[in-house]
Amino acid sequence: MSALGALLAFQRETEALGQVMGRLGWDQETMMPRGAAVQRGEEMAALEGVLHARRTDPRVGEWLDQATPSSEAEAAQLRLISHSYARACRVPGDLAAEIARVTSVSQGKWAAARKADDLAGFLPVLGQVIALRRVEAQALADGGDAYDALLDGYEPGITGAEIAAFFDRMRPGLVALRAALRDAPPAPVLTGHFPRAGQLALAREVAQVFGYDLERGRIDEAVHPFSSGSHNDVRITTRIDEAEPLGCIYSTIHEVGHAGYEQNIAQEFGLSVLGQGVSMGVHESQSRIYENQLGRSPAFCHWLFGRMRDHFGPLSVDTPEDFARAVNRVATGYIRTEADEVHYNLHIMLRFDLERALISGDLALGDLEAAWNDRFAADFGVAVDRPSNGVLQDVHWPVGLFGYFPTYSLGNVYAGCLHAALRAALPALDQHMAKGDLAPALGWLRDNLQAHGGLRTPRATVEHATGAPVHEAALLGYLEAKYRALYAL
């Protein structure tokens, strides 16, 4: 067997084991009994040890030196494996296993602390997570910027300074739009009782309208909705509040965006480094364009209004137009995952600045809550009332995902670029969406972006789909046009 053949066969087994580990994480969020948290931590640590040993196996380096690609796909696989190998070799195996063990335990403790609003009881384990990630970041950085080294694990090819520049350009427009909307007459609110069974039924229907293949996936409930898996086993979760059905519907659409990306990658890339989303920013572009530019469009809301009435009877809003305004209602809130499009990126900017400071050591753990609350009051004009509405609301830091948060806003920027290109290619898009027909939009995204998986770098993936450089102007223009029309400004 050639060096390339041996490397790709070895990598296929590594990818398969990684999927098994992902399934353990899915089970922990959905099915695992609460008392199994410590044992699951040991299981995750053991499997991470096996994976780390494979990812740093000296044979990988030898195969990389000897392998000669004969196609674009093979060259891309070598590029990605080489990048992963270099990162893995900088992290000691015992550190990787300890991170897996501690973050697994931390996840369970976070869920309990969030429910009890017990930040003080959670801070010690969060401190362990941060300390371990700092050690890992220093090892990965190899003398460079520690935060950039963590960010590279989620969005290769971009730095914290570039993200900060994006945010500096976006903030004035977002703040100005928020101020204009704050002074406008408020949008209607959808109220009533929406039984759990009806929400789940509608969520499944909407998921399939957005192309989710339930023969290769499933929908469950979790505290924090997420998508897990790749290729032919891609699972999503949602959450249900019987007084607020839009959270269930739109978290489902959001996660279907992630899942649809994974399910639509070319079959020949399955269980290879090309067979998954190329970065978290590009991944987020799919979930956000599904949820917002498509799912919250006035055209799609026209169709959804009818299906809501079919499932739940008369609504507190009487027309599709008022329903669209309720779906897109702008209001200051504590929870990032429930934030409207105007406020959402401000939530990310807050977390980005704080986590950079935590990793650098400029922010002490004991000062984190005060720093969060002060920044939230300054940015949103509201005082945080309890930890579950503040620093405890997200699972990302408890499980060690430092460097992940900014990819959410980068995904919004990518989605803005993709939406502009999509609209240009499909001038009759609104007519299709008003009938619940997402096939033209989904087909465009599949053919131009999703099918290619990790074939290109993140930015090149978006630029290949759109034919234009990545820039935040498309997102800001979309937000201005949409919300000024909805609020008649």
Q: Convert the pLDDT of each residue in 80-94 to its tens digit.
A: 999 999 999 999 989
Answer yes or no: pTM beyond 0.95. Answer: no
How far, in Å, CA of 320 to CA of 330, rounded? 17
E-assigned strand segments in 222-353 = 227-230, 233-238
How far, in Å, CA of 427 to CA of 125, rounded? 52
Closest-CA residue to 225 (of 202, 246, 254): 254
Residue 381 has pLDDT above 90, yes or no: no
Contact 90, 140 (CB under 8 A): yes
Predicted local confidence at residue 405, as pLDDT: 97
pLDDT tens digit sequence for 223-279: 778 999 998 999 999 999 999 999 999 999 999 999 999 999 999 999 999 999 999
Q: What letter represents residue 235's amino acid? A: R
Residue 1 has pLDDT above 90, yes or no: no
Q: What letter represents residue 32's amino acid? A: M
Residue 379 has pLDDT above 80, yes or no: yes
- Is 255 in the active site? yes
How far, in Å, CA of 32 to CA of 38, rounded? 11
Closest-CA residue to 148 (of 162, 166, 167): 162
Predicted local confidence at residue 41, as pLDDT: 86
Closest-CA residue to 76 (of 464, 446, 416, 415): 464
Helix (H) or strand (E) holding 432: helix 429-433
> DSSP assignment, residue 334?
S
| CA separation, residue 418 to residues 287, 290, 466 (Å) | 12, 11, 6
- Cα atoms in the 13 Å half-sphere on the side-chain side of 220: 17
pLDDT tens digit sequence for 298-326: 999 999 999 999 999 999 999 999 999 99
Predicted local confidence at residue 489, as pLDDT: 87
Q: What letter represents residue 194's amino acid? A: F
Q: What letter represents residue 330's amino acid? A: V
Predicted local confidence at residue 142, as pLDDT: 87
How far, in Å, CA of 35 to CA of 57, rounded? 35
How far, in Å, CA of 271 to CA of 290, rounded? 25
Going by pLDDT thresholds of 50, 70 and 90, the confidence category of residue 338 is confident
Predicted local confidence at residue 29, as pLDDT: 86
Angle between helix 72-89 and helix 3-30 axes, rounded to 10 deg: 60
pLDDT tens digit sequence for 343-355: 999 999 999 999 9
How far, in Å, CA of 114 to CA of 111, rounded? 5
User: Considering just the CA atoms, what is the radius of gyration of the chain in Å?
Assistant: 22
How far, in Å, CA of 298 to CA of 322, rounded? 10
Q: Which residues of 224-261 are buried (b: 16+ CB within 10 A; e: fewer)?
A: bbbbbbbbebbbbbbebeeebbbbbbbbbbbbbbbbbb
Contact 103, 398 (CB under 8 A): yes
Q: What letter represents residue 26's amino acid? A: W
Instruction: Give strand pairing partners of 228.
Output: 235
Going by pLDDT thresholds of 50, 70 and 90, the confidence category of residue 173 is very high
Closest-CA residue to 295 (of 341, 238, 233, 237): 341
What backbone phi and psi angles, to 5 degrees, belong to 432?
-70, -45
Instruction: Give strand pairing partners of 221.
Output: 238
Predicted local confidence at residue 57, as pLDDT: 96
Where do the H-state alpha helices sit in 56-143?
Answer: 58-66, 72-89, 93-116, 119-141
Closest-CA residue to 448 (of 439, 461, 435): 461
Going by pLDDT thresholds of 50, 70 and 90, the confidence category of residue 65 is very high
| Cβ count near 330 (within 10 Å) | 22
Instruction: Give strand pairing partners of 229.
Output: 234
Contact 259, 212 (CB under 8 A): yes
- Chain position carrying tokens 């406008």: 184
How far, in Å, CA of 420 to CA of 382, rounded? 34
Chain centre to alpha carbon of residue 185:
32
Residue 410 has pLDDT above 90, yes or no: yes
Q: What letter represents residue 283's amino acid? A: H
Rounded to the nearest 5 degrees, what angle is found at the Cα of 160, between the Cα atoms of 155 and 161? Answer: 130
What backbone phi and psi angles, to 5 degrees, belong to 137?
-60, -40
Average pLDDT, stretch 422-445?
A: 98
Compare 416 and 29 and report the one with higher pLDDT. Answer: 416
Predicted local confidence at residue 119, as pLDDT: 97
Catalytic residue among 15, 48, 255, 355: 255
Rounded to the nearest 5 degrees, what angle is found at the Cα of 339, between the Cα atoms of 334 and 341? Answer: 145
